[in-house]
Amino acid sequence: MFPITRPRRLRQNPQLRRMVQETTLTLNDLIYPLFVVPGEAIAKEVKSMPGVYQLSVDKAVDQAKECFDLGIPSIILFGIPEEKNSEATGAWHDHGIVQKAATAIKKAIPDLVVIADTCLCEYTAHGHCGYLKDEDITGTVLNDPTLELLKKTALSQARAGVDIIAPSGMMDGFVSVIREGLDEAGFQDIPILSYAAKYASAYYGPFRDAAESAPQFGDRRTYQMDPSNAREALKEVALDIAEGADMLMVKPALSYMDIIWRVKEMTNLPVAAYNVSGEYSMVKAAALNGWIDEKKVTLETLTSFKRAGADLILTYHAKDAARWLA
């Protein structure tokens, strides 16, 4: 049978292919995560994430400058505190590590958009994303007491100069409590990027090395979502919109492209996809073995997130991608 239409007509040469390209990855889409530790002149590579470092504030400022010079508009900060305790003091203290890093980065590069991850897991001795009674060894996170600590954390991050608050703990009601707190304190203009649909994923393994935040007992399945569920993600998203979220995140990204798509279909808010640590490490490991072409695989993956509906991509590949796109 002779084909009636010949799709190959439009693939004949690079110019035609350029003209009919539907999705374009740009520098505007990228957000680079940074891990900040106490100390000075520290850049310690994370074993399971080649090319990603735990950085002291001075080195984090250097990397933030590098991002800005590459044309990356934004970074997101994670902190590893001096001391972890049941009250997660390091998360909400005005001299906390993320607060220090945010202030230093905004001072050095005022135009870089600084996002703070707002969660407790890096700061609690038990590694859970919320508050639990000291004697409670079942690991059940208390929802409402956690909200108060998250509000305190967000306020202190705002005072430190953070541009966007990104709560990631999957506590019920966290967006409205943080919004209320920010508004009361005069931070009406600070947007909230909510980790709206965050799954209890095995792909976070390398991140927990980087952030030293693995739960010391139990797991996160009473607050993060079951990977089997998609409609539930839409419920989470609807709640976060009602509570006042300005942007929504889906996490992880690669095996959750259907969720990115469905969230994009149901909302007009910007959608972010978090290309998480395990996704990065898989690509890096295969590339280091010479099994895949790192540049092509990375750009294909990032472009696919956009095709699925992501407006923004948080990715450890951001600096490499920026160089390749330049």
| Chain residues in the site for ligand PBG (CB under 6 A) | 117, 119, 121, 129, 168-169, 204, 207-208, 213, 220, 276-277
Q: Of the ranges 4-12, 17-25, 112-120, 277-285, which one interacts with Zn ion (CB under 5 A)?
A: 112-120
Compute how many residues bind Zn ion; rule: CB under 5 A.
4
Q: To the nearest whole angstrom, how small is the minimum distance from the Cβ of residue 20 to ligand PBG?
A: 34
| Interacting residue with Zn ion among 101, 119, 141, 155 (CB under 5 A) | 119
Can the peptide bond before residue 14 be classed as cis, meaning omega within 30 degrees of 0? no
C-alpha to C-alpha distance for 99 and 158, rounded to whole angstroms: 9
Q: To the nearest whole angstrom, how small is the minimum distance from the Cβ of residue 129 to Zn ion?
A: 3
Candidates 251, 284, 306, 319; catalytic one: 251
* Span 290-309, contacts to Zn ion by CB under 5 A: none
Confirm or reject binding of residue 88 to Zn ion (CB under 5 A).
no
What DSSP element (H or E) covers 53? strand 53-56
* Span 147-186, contacts to Zn ion by CB under 5 A: 169
251 is catalytic: yes
Q: Which C-beta is closer to ligand PBG: that of 91 or that of 322?
A: 91
Residues 260 and 271: beta-carbon distance below 8 Å: yes
Confirm or reject binding of residue 132 to Zn ion (CB under 5 A).
no
Q: To the nearest whole angstrom, how small is the minimum distance from the Cβ of residue 141 to ligand PBG?
A: 12
Contacts of 131 (CB under 8 A, 6+ apart): 86, 87, 88, 120, 124, 141, 142, 145, 146, 149
C-alpha to C-alpha distance for 159 and 94, rounded to whole angstroms: 8
| Cα Rg of the chain, angstroms | 20
Confirm or reject binding of residue 129 to Zn ion (CB under 5 A).
yes
Whole-number Cα distances in Å, 47 to 3, 44, 80, 282: 53, 9, 16, 13
Distance in angstroms between the alpha carbons of the first and the last residue of the chain = 44
Residues 139 and 215: beta-carbon distance below 8 Å: yes
Q: Which C-beta is closer to Zn ion: that of 257 or that of 314?
A: 314
Q: To the nearest whole angstrom, how small is the minimum distance from the Cβ of residue 309 to Zn ion?
A: 25
C-alpha to C-alpha distance for 109 and 212, rounded to whole angstroms: 28
Whole-number Cα distances in Å, 43 to 54, 62, 78, 256, 262: 6, 11, 15, 32, 39
Confirm or reject binding of residue 322 to Zn ion (CB under 5 A).
no
100 is catalytic: no
Q: Which C-beta is closer to Zn ion: that of 69 or that of 148?
A: 148
Q: Which C-beta is closer to ligand PBG: that of 159 or that of 208?
A: 208
C-alpha to C-alpha distance for 221 and 125, rounded to whole angstroms: 19
Candidates 59, 106, 198, 264; catalytic one: 198
Query: Which of the choices Zn ion, ligand PBG, none does residue 204 contact, using the CB cut-off of 5 to 8 A by kind?
Result: ligand PBG
Structure token pair of residue 307: 């095709």
Q: Which C-beta is closer to Zn ion: that of 129 or that of 308?
A: 129
Q: Which C-beta is closer to ligand PBG: that of 47 or that of 107?
A: 47
**Contact residues for Zn ion, defined by CB under 5 A:** 119, 121, 129, 169
Residues classed as catalytic: 198, 251
